A and B are shown apart, each in its own frame.
Chain A
Amino acid sequence: MVRLKNAFMRCYLAFILLFLYAPIFVLIVLSFNDSRSRVTWGGFTLKWYGRLFSSRQILEALETTLLLGLASAAAATVIGTLGAVGIQAMRKRGYQIVMSVTNIPILNADIVTGIALMLWFVRLIPLGFGSVLVAHITFNIPYVILSVMPKLKSLNLSIYEAARDLGAGSVYAFFHIVLPQIGSGILAGFFMALTMSMDDFVITYFTKGAGVNTLSTMIYGEIRKGIKPEMYALSTLLFAVIFVILLAFNALSGKGKNTEDVIERSR
């Protein structure tokens, strides 16, 4: 009986993994296929990858994506960490209110956030790299707060007071005593923000205006014109990069379950 149940559970798991990863696997295979056809295997090639790196359009989009990801993640990390420290110091009621508000952008449908931000930006700043950056910082902040918060909660506040007691100013005590304790949470928040930014399509699409393209919006634009195998190669690379970041991120927070919590809440 138990064995049967186990076998069933294993099949079920295999099925889920198959559905999740088979399409990606096909995509990866196709990116090495020396034939434009999606059904015949024309031999192994790296030429799509080669073309990828000779296309100015693609390289520009790559540059935009990386710049956007790093800048928005960095800004969100600073703002989010300070925010978390502030929220942690709040009284109970304020704390609950702010934490609920923090969750809204995560639970909110991207398209709503995207359109809302677009409407907002249209009046204030010209749509372009700047507006996308602000949009990305905005939706990244909650992820940073959520990954820093558990670390702050488990922080023993008397070590901060001990530092002050021994002659440290508040800034020194924060950087030398508090930061090392919550550093892994901050780093995890940064990586989370980075992936979220690189992953995003909807919000970017609505806030970017003409002329600016990240990889995801560019792929979308290209695919409407007809699928080019270069796009397979590009998607494969994108997948690989995000996969590596996620691994690093999990390794960082491997000891605590915090990040799993955060991911759980964000999905």
Chain B
Amino acid sequence: MEMNEKERDILELRNISKSFDGKKVLDDLSLSIGRNEFITLLGPSGCGKSTTLRIIGGFVRPDEGAVFFDGKDITDLASEKRNVNTVFQKYSLFPHMNVEENIAFGLKLKKKSKAYIQDKIRYALKLVNLEGYEKRNTTALSGGQQQRIAIARAIVNEPEILLLDEPLGALDLKLRHDMQQELIRIKKEVGITFIYVTHDQEEALTMSDKIVVMNRGIIQQMGTSKSIYDEPQNAFVADFIGESNIVDGVMPQDRVVEIFGVKIPCVDEGFAEREAVDVVIRPEDLEIRPEGDGFFNGQVVSVLFKGAYYEIKVRTEGCEWVSQSVTAPEVGTRVGLYVLPDNIQIMHKPKSEDAEMIKE
């Protein structure tokens, strides 16, 4: 930890704001990215992820704020002069060039020798598991292969940061999972910083060292996958990262939360007396017990088999809960719901404007 702090961050976004047609897309966004990190920008569609990435890549100029690369201000530097390369969401291979010509494009511009370029092409194709594809026509490749070539084309330029804007967005589920593993391996092999954009929380949790959760151009939370999953800082994050039960509660005293009139022990303290809070309980933490044995009693309204577990919906007075379990009760039976104090997340209510965005 201490070592990291001494090392200078490779990239810093300082108070970036950007509007399009009078609509604020990024609002005073600040972010530091360390060397060799795999950092993921995660958020719903339209929250400004791509815009952030395009500002880093030099395709969009921020209205306010500055971008620092290795301590130097690069806000006004043209994209071709930045030591950063991008893998785009849309297939962006040059259709009139074959695989080899695509990969060589950047190197030829840098006036590298023929031998060097040949070496690099071979290395890059090996890296993305497409050896022998040099002479192939790019338009004849599958989606996954095209994105691999796009990665190879970027990597050969030895960028210090690779930007990836939903590179797997157009692929089907199976291929996505394979490619996620590929990307993790490639990241390890080349050892550079990856800034990845996705709206798929599962993808973010699997791949990243650090996740930046965004909504409406504002960073909601930043941290490791685990910290974001286990300790969401507000209801938006809790809701967006995995499925959650989010209900209104109040804090009558430290370590006790009151939901629907029931007082439940928890581990949180330091709230104002009777402060209104959001209570988050993950489905896998909500235990189904015999009636009368939990905090709430209700009726099972549906049971869905999800492969590794059952998803059970239970209606109680005032709310419908989602629980996950490896055993399933019959639909219609009356059950009790229980949760361990440790597994309850208490969160401050967001300020009024934020409250609206959660409801969406």
- Contacts from A to B (Cβ < 8 Å): 156, 158-159, 161-169, 172, 177, 180-181
B91 close to A166 (CB less than 8 A) = no
B109 close to A168 (CB less than 8 A) = yes
Kindly state the separation between the CA atoms of A167 and B156 in the bound complex, as whole angstroms.
Answer: 12
Kindly state the separation between the CA atoms of A168 and B107 in the bound complex, as whole angstroms.
Answer: 11
* Interface 9-residue window, one of B78-86, B230-238, B275-283: B78-86
Q: Which A residues are in CB contact (< 8 Å) with B91? A: 156, 158
Distance of A92 from chain B, by nearest CB (Å): 10
State whether A161 and B106 are in contact (beta carbons under 8 Å apart), knowing that A166-B157, A168-B80 are contacts in the complex.
no
Q: Which B residues are in CB contact (< 8 Å) with A166? A: 80, 85, 105-106, 109, 153-154, 157
Distance of A114 from chain B, by nearest CB (Å): 41
Kindly state the separation between the CA atoms of A159 and B96 in the bound complex, as whole angstroms.
Answer: 11
Q: Which A residues are in CB contact (< 8 Å) with B86? A: 161-162, 165
Q: Which B residues are in CB contact (< 8 Å) with A169? A: 78, 80
Give the residue of B78, B84, B92, B110 whose beta carbon is less than 8 angstroms from that of A162.
Answer: B92
State whether A165 and B105 are in contact (beta carbons under 8 Å apart), knowing that A156-B92, A158-B88, A158-B92 are contacts in the complex.
no
Q: Which B residues are in CB contact (< 8 Å) with A172? A: 109
Query: B90 at interface (Cβ–Cβ under 8 A)?
Result: yes
Q: Which A residues are in CB contact (< 8 Å) with B89? A: 158
B94 close to A167 (CB less than 8 A) = no
B57 close to A165 (CB less than 8 A) = yes
Distance of B83 from chain A, by nearest CB (Å): 10
Q: Which A residues are in CB contact (< 8 Å) with B84? A: 165
Distance of A166 from chain B, by nearest CB (Å): 4
Query: B95 at interface (Cβ–Cβ under 8 A)?
Result: yes
A163 close to B105 (CB less than 8 A) = yes
Distance of A254 from chain B, by nearest CB (Å): 18
How many interface contacts (CB-CB < 8 Å) are there between A and B? 61
Q: List 22 A-B contacts (CB under 8 A).
A: A156-B91, A156-B92, A158-B88, A158-B89, A159-B94, A161-B86, A162-B93, A162-B153, A163-B105, A164-B78, A164-B80, A165-B79, A165-B84, A165-B85, A166-B106, A166-B154, A167-B80, A167-B157, A168-B105, A169-B80, A172-B109, A177-B94
Q: Which of B79, B85, B150 has the most CB of A within 10 A?
A: B79
Query: B305 at interface (Cβ–Cβ under 8 A)?
Result: no
Kindly state the separation between the CA atoms of A172 and B106 in the bound complex, as whole angstroms.
Answer: 12
Q: Which A residues are in CB contact (< 8 Å) with B150? A: 162
Query: B309 at interface (Cβ–Cβ under 8 A)?
Result: no
Query: B295 at interface (Cβ–Cβ under 8 A)?
Result: no
Q: Which A residues are in CB contact (< 8 Å) with B105? A: 163, 166, 168
Distance of B130 from chain A, by nearest CB (Å): 18
Smallest CB-CB separation from A169: which chain B residue? B80
Closest 8 interchain pairs by CB?
A: A166-B106, A158-B92, A162-B92, A167-B109, A158-B88, A180-B96, A167-B80, A158-B90
Kindly state the separation between the CA atoms of A42 and B109 in the bound complex, as whole angstroms.
Answer: 69
B80 close to A161 (CB less than 8 A) = no
Smallest CB-CB separation from A161: which chain B residue? B59
Distance of A158 from chain B, by nearest CB (Å): 4
Q: Which B residues are in CB contact (< 8 Å) with A158? A: 88-92
Kindly state the separation between the CA atoms of A161 and B154 in the bound complex, as whole angstroms.
Answer: 13
Q: Which A residues are in CB contact (< 8 Å) with B79? A: 161, 164-165
Q: Which A residues are in CB contact (< 8 Å) with B96? A: 180-181
Kindly state the separation between the CA atoms of A225 and B90 in the bound complex, as whole angstroms.
Answer: 65
Q: Is the interface of A mostly helix, strand, loop or mixed?
A: helix
Q: Which of A158, A159, A162, A172 has the most CB of B within 10 A?
A: A162
Distance of A98 from chain B, by nearest CB (Å): 19
Further pairs besides A166-B105, A181-B96: 17, Cβ < 8 Å: A156-B90, A158-B89, A158-B91, A159-B95, A161-B59, A161-B86, A161-B88, A162-B150, A164-B78, A165-B80, A165-B84, A165-B86, A166-B109, A166-B154, A166-B157, A167-B110, A168-B109
Give the residue of A162, A168, A180, A181 whose beta carbon is less than 8 angstroms from that of B88.
Answer: A162
Kindly state the separation between the CA atoms of A164 and B92 in the bound complex, as whole angstroms.
Answer: 12
Contact code string B96-116 (vs A, CB < 8 Å = 1, else 0): 100000000110011000000
Distance of B164 from chain A, by nearest CB (Å): 12
B59 close to A163 (CB less than 8 A) = no
Distance of B282 from chain A, by nearest CB (Å): 38
Kindly state the separation between the CA atoms of A163 and B154 in the bound complex, as whole angstroms.
Answer: 11
Smallest CB-CB separation from A172: which chain B residue? B109
Contact code string B220-250 (vs A, CB < 8 Å = 1, else 0): 0000000000000000000000000000000
Kindly state the separation between the CA atoms of A169 and B80 in the bound complex, as whole angstroms.
Answer: 7
Kindly state the separation between the CA atoms of A8 and B144 in the bound complex, as whole angstroms.
Answer: 54
Give the residue of A165, A168, A181 whose beta carbon is less than 8 angstroms from that of B95.
Answer: A181
Q: Which A residues are in CB contact (< 8 Å) with B93? A: 159, 162
- Tell me the B150-186 residues at the A interface (CB within 8 Å): 150, 153-154, 157
Smallest CB-CB separation from A157: which chain B residue? B90
A167 close to B59 (CB less than 8 A) = no
Kindly state the separation between the CA atoms of A135 and B295 in the bound complex, as whole angstroms.
Answer: 87
Q: Which A residues are in CB contact (< 8 Å) with B57? A: 165
A164 close to B59 (CB less than 8 A) = yes
- Tell me the B43-94 residues at the A interface (CB within 8 Å): 57, 59, 78-80, 84-86, 88-94
Distance of B259 from chain A, by nearest CB (Å): 48
Q: Which B residues are in CB contact (< 8 Å) with A162? A: 86, 88, 92-94, 150, 153
Q: Which of B88, B91, B157 has the most CB of A within 10 A?
A: B88
Smallest CB-CB separation from B165: which chain A residue? A158
Q: Which B residues are in CB contact (< 8 Å) with A159? A: 92-95
State whether A163 and B157 are in contact (beta carbons under 8 Å apart), knowing that A158-B88, A168-B80, A168-B109 are contacts in the complex.
no
Distance of A184 from chain B, by nearest CB (Å): 11
